[in-house]
């Protein structure tokens, strides 16, 4: 987060709440990042609107650039601007979609989480971050190199968000319920599953210099437990990772990040493994 030099802020001219800009100002105030304000619209002209906000921000000491654009779709417009401006973070306000539309079409926020190569912060609430709780969800039981790198990114970014907001960081990991058919006997009994995860969590706590009070171990599906823990902690930000499934696998299996985004009453910061970000950037570089 501290290394971010440019933040893309998706602006919504006809909405009274400028939650994305509010979060961008908070982060830029600490990181001294440039704010790139983007309006996604191919019909109406919003130059005057952008100029007015940019001037106000400059008077407050922010470095600001503006753009109005449209490239095929809402999420593609955002990603094209993010790539062109080398923005290390995209911030967008969440607007609930019509249930019928959601049943027929993939929501814009979901597409942005799937395809955007950079971290995405979805602003959902007007609650202040200051002195609140930050919840980071990690899969401690997955020790692959890709997940270890994602864990490091999740915790480091969560610590930085907590520092920016003067907030308290909490970490949640979920372990599976017993499965009698599991080939590994460890996963056939609740006691052995929990013992393994507690051992892994002890190493995790030591590696990232956490306290026992900051680490929460729960049994069950992550997409259910994360919203429950966010509510229990009264969290203001939830930090999660995604492998950005697309196509049929994404439709059938679903992405935890997308389910959590709809279920929590917090802002949501979504990060991806570096290998996934490179994979998403490669086709964009060919354009």
Q: Running DSSP on this structure, what letter comes out for residue 244? A: -
For the segment 108-163, what is each residue's pLDDT rounded down to a tens digit? 888 898 889 899 999 999 999 998 999 999 988 877 787 788 888 899 999 999 99
Higher pLDDT, 171 or 244: 171
In the chain, residues under CATH classification 3.40.50.620 are: 6-93
**Global pTM value:** 0.87
Residues of the chain with CATH 3.40.50.12370: 133-281
d(Cα 65, Cα 51) in Å, to the nearest integer? 9
pLDDT at 284 over 70: no
Fold (CATH) for 6-93? Rossmann fold (3.40.50)
How remote is the C-alpha of 234 from its chain's centroid?
Answer: 18
Which DSSP string do the residues of 177-214 spell out, in sequence order?
Answer: PP-TT-SSGGGGSHHHHHHHHHHHHHHHHHHTT--GGG
Q: Which CATH architecture has domain 133-281?
A: 3-Layer(aba) Sandwich (3.40)
pLDDT value at position 186? 64
Closest CA to 127 of 95, 170, 96, 165: 165
* pLDDT band at 277; cut points 50, 70, 90: low
Q: Which of 70, 75, 77 is nearest to 107 (CA)?
A: 75
Q: Which residue has the higher pLDDT, 110 or 35?
A: 35
**174-222: pLDDT as tens digits:** 887 766 656 666 666 678 888 888 899 999 999 999 999 999 999 888 8
């Amino acid at each position: 987060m501290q290394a971010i030099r440019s933040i893309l802020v998706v602006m919504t001219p006809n909405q009274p709440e400028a939650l994305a800009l509010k979060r961008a100002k908070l982060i830029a105030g600490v990181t001294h990042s440039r704010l790139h304000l983007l309006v996604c619209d191919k019909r109406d002209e919003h130059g005057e609107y952008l100029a007015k906000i940019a001037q106000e921000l400059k008077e407050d000491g922010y470095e600001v650039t503006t753009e109005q654009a449209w490239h095929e779709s809402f999420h593609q417009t955002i990603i094209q601007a993010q790539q062109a401006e080398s923005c290390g973070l995209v911030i967008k306000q969440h607007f609930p979609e019509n249930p019928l539309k959601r049943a027929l079409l993939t929501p814009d926020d979901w597409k942005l989480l799937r395809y955007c190569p950079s971290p995405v912060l979805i602003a959902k609430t007007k609650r202040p971050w200051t002195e609140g709780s930050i919840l980071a969800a990690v899969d401690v039981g997955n020790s692959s190199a890709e997940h270890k790198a994602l864990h490091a990114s999740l915790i480091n970014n969560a610590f930085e968000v907590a520092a920016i907001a003067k907030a308290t960081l909490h970490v949640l990991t979920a372990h599976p319920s017993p499965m009698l058919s599991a080939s590994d006997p460890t996963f056939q009994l609740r006691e052995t599953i929990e013992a393994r995860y507690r051992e892994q969590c002890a190493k995790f706590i030591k590696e990232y210099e956490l306290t026992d009070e900051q680490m929460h171990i729960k049994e069950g599906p992550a997409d259910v437990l994360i919203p429950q823990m966010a509510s229990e902690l009264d969290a203001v930000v939830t930090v999660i990772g995604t492998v950005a499934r697309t196509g049929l696998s994404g439709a059938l299996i679903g992405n935890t990040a997308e389910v959590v985004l709809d279920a929590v009453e917090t802002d949501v910061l979504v990060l991806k493994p570096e290998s996934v970000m490179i994979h998403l950037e490669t086709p964009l570089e060919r354009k």
